[in-house]
Chains A and B, each alone.
Chain A
């Protein structure tokens, strides 16, 4: 197990290097001079003299390779430079906003699990019943509706018309509910159907028939055995959807004025705030890698048939 984790951790290095190189190349392929952007967002008229000063200050007059290596070394120290717009250290800005984003993401995952597990499970147990039709409808709706539009709809009906929740901002549980629901609906759509399919598959397995013939209660079979195994693909899906969730927070944070990192990133893109963009790419790459590793380890813990060598035991 240790060697497996070690190998997986080593594999992070090339992935991380590739992600940072890609972001560096993409940023430098842009036709806009970062020094010019820096002065423009500061509302300073970019004379040639000032441009040269800024380029020197940021090391933009160095060869590209030197720039890349330096930025990589700084990243390892969590030094992403200062934001062009706020003139504050990027890491400080991110650290200030990240808790809000994580709170939103975590509550969305919790909400998605709380809603999709019972609905998915019951729609499999009561196949073709009302609850099954409802879950199918929910899945269609959740998978197809654009997040920003769903956000506006929820605000309009639940906030403006019914006055149940505040329209925007952060503070209480009430502020958290609508953005979490908006963000989680896409996940609910996926997990509900995934769990339903998985439970139906497990119900056809011989061990279920064997357990029934042994006289084990149906409740125990379904709850203790079937659900435990059927939930495994959902955990994989959860790991794979973390990225989707993070990109979703960008839209949801803007719609609900949620003061998180996603909103900050949107402004960074609009302002071409390169240090912030680089930091975001770095963080998202790290989150993807770590989440995938955690999901793999969790699955192994939950399903002993999956070996540490990465293949299923007979």
Chain B
């Protein structure tokens, strides 16, 4: 068993899914011969050939629309948008068709496709390469939206996403593509979708996050532990449907919650979680729920992008505010 990175977890899951199921095809710009601009599909073209690892013309609407058509006709397309920003033209087919195919045909047709793309900032990329559009997709009824934050979850959740009978948006936090290595067995075992993953147990405070912000959130938890505070950290992992049971159960014990989100604050997932806590967990809260989010601005170019992103200090400060309330 080799220690692999998050992006290698993606590659390994793609290879495993293709090997297990001839209906699985990978398509997108530069995914074939080049192995993807981030190398997520490295080696797949050599192994599975032109017909299953498809370099497409440069046309996102085509990629999304054809994935809908293929999925409705017995294939399992795993489409790639090269960067988060270029998933936006795909929204047309995702919103108007993929997400509602099953419903509007009363189950006669379905759309078991996966759309995967690297998302989030922090790698000095050009414009429109650094956004976090999980809320745009999470707002669409009929979709699952998944974001892994470790090599093993990349592998297990992507396998589950590909095998899922309905459309899944799989967002890959590119800032942590190569952050950590982890031993992951290529055993074809999927991990459950629709549930949160508790990354560390604690009793004084619950930190909730997803994607690349797991990194800063764990660092903040470390810092707080140093000050004698026991912190529970939850990785949401599936943005939609949201597993509020795990979050409420945690807050029942800690009574305090800070939610950390890289995307802009307004109408974000953090707001959804806070609202749900107000709805079903409010009797257990000892303090207001705090959100630490990106600002409601256009993602800055790289020279100022880290000033946009929630920092460890902002998380620690928010945690301390929440802890001060008695």
Bind each other: no
